[in-house]
């Protein structure tokens, strides 16, 4: 029997006290034809929209998870990130944060030189910063439609640049500030030293995640969990927002009531399979996003084995690759 899929007669939001469930979410990618779907991208990666809601207020959730600040849940927050734009023959490509090897001290020095320009245009002081993320009230840029580095990296940035929504000229104002900072950092000793070490220069600033904490709409799959595991910084913020215990690493044998978004989900599959077979878990809820669409499937112990007409043969267990490909 195939696993139950949401939309069939299955309750994917049971009371955790009566059903021992482990929820595993996989990262999602945009549909392949997204650039042919309209005149602008769909805001947020599939898993970002699933976790936060259609407004995808990434910045306030990241700020909540990375700081001890108390801030107004109705205030629009923006996330700024120092980045490298790689020049090809006819366009620029945004490199991901894990490709640039930016240090804490480099980030702080670059911020120091850019901060007067940032605070002047945003009309507000910076709230908090770490190596990869700088947070500030969005102020005059609150209406910008923007896209996360996770969504835009590795692609032509022309398609992913911030866009006007309610007021014309806001995106142009952002590009002016971005250009000023690019020129400033072009001559910065930090970049000269990085290039001598063979590292990509930090040559631009990216804005994304604009939104309010009040705009977060977390799904029951995570809101109803008892523990949250995963390294992505969004989870730290969501756990704090939902007041659920959180750890970046999964170190437990008690799997019931867990929501996990793991860097290597295949590594936990043997443990989950064993827990289902031994009745330590009643079911696994697997959430993924084929073609950019959410899919929620329930697996129980009887779904762990390949189906065969050769009933006299011992059934073979499904591999992780077979599970995610089905």
Taking the alpha carbons at both ends of the chain, their separation in whole angstroms is 12
Q: Which tens digit of pLDDT belongs to each residue from 51-71? A: 999 999 999 999 999 999 999
Q: Which tens digit of pLDDT belongs to each residue from 131-172? A: 999 999 999 999 999 999 999 999 889 999 999 998 999 999
pLDDT for 12 equals 52
pLDDT for 22 equals 97
pLDDT for 181 equals 98
Of 60, 168, 185, which Cα lies nearest the Cα of 115?
Answer: 185
The answer to whether 82 touches 250, Cβ cutoff 8 Å, is no
Q: Which residues contact 267 (CB under 8 A, 6 or more apart)?
A: none
Does residue 16 register a pLDDT over 50? no
Q: Are strands 4-5 and 258-260 parallel, antiparallel or unpaired?
A: unpaired
Q: Which tens digit of pLDDT belongs to each residue from 162-197? A: 999 989 999 999 999 999 999 999 999 999 999 999
Angstrom distance (rounded) from CA 200 to CA 191 = 8
> How much is the pTM?
0.90
pLDDT for 8 equals 33
Going from the C-alpha of 232 to that of each of 39, 97, 262, the distances in angstroms are 30, 13, 8
pLDDT above 90 as % of the chain: 75
- Rg value, the chain, Cα: 22
Does residue 4 register a pLDDT over 60? no
Helix boundaries (H) for 15-136: 46-52, 58-66, 104-122
pLDDT for 311 equals 58
The position carrying tokens 């908090």 is 128
**Residue 2 confidence class, pLDDT cut points 50, 70, 90:** very low
Range 217-235 average pLDDT = 96
Give me the residue spans of the domains in the chain.
4-29+218-325, 55-215
pLDDT for 303 equals 86
Q: Which tens digit of pLDDT belongs to each residue from 292-302? A: 999 999 999 98
């Amino acid at each position: 029997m195939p696993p139950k899929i949401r939309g069939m007669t299955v309750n994917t939001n049971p009371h955790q006290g009566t059903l021992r469930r482990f929820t595993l979410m996989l990262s999602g990618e945009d549909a392949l034809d997204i650039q042919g779907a309209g005149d602008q991208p769909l805001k947020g990666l599939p898993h970002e929209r699933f976790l936060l809601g259609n407004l995808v207020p990434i910045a306030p959730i990241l700020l909540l998870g990375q700081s001890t600040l108390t801030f107004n849940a109705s205030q629009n927050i923006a996330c700024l990130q120092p980045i490298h734009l790689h020049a090809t023959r006819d366009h620029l490509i945004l490199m991901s944060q894990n490709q640039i090897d930016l240090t804490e001290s480099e980030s702080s020095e670059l911020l120091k030189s850019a901060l007067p320009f940032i605070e002047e245009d945003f009309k507000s002081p910076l709230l908090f910063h770490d190596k990869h993320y700088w947070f500030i009230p969005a102020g005059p840029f609150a209406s910008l439609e923007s896209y996360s580095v996770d969504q835009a990296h590795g692609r032509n940035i022309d398609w992913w640049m911030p866009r006007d929504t309610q007021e014309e000229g806001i995106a142009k104002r952002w590009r002016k500030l971005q250009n000023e900072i690019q020129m400033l950092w072009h001559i910065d000793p930090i970049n000269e030293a990085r290039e001598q070490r063979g590292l990509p220069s930090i040559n631009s600033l990216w804005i994304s995640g604009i939104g309010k904490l009040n705009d977060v709409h977390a799904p029951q799959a995570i809101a109803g969990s008892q523990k949250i595991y995963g390294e992505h910084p969004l989870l730290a913020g969501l756990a704090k927002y939902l007041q659920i215990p959180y750890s970046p690493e999964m170190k437990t044998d008690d799997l019931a009531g867990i929501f996990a978004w793991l860097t290597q989900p295949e590594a936990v599959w043997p443990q989950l399979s064993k827990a289902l077979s031994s009745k330590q878990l009643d079911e696994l809820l697997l959430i993924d996003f084929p073609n950019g669409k959410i899919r929620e499937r329930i697996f129980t112990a009887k779904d762990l084995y390949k189906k065969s007409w050769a009933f006299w043969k011992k059934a073979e267990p499904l591999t992780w690759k077979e599970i995610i490909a089905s």
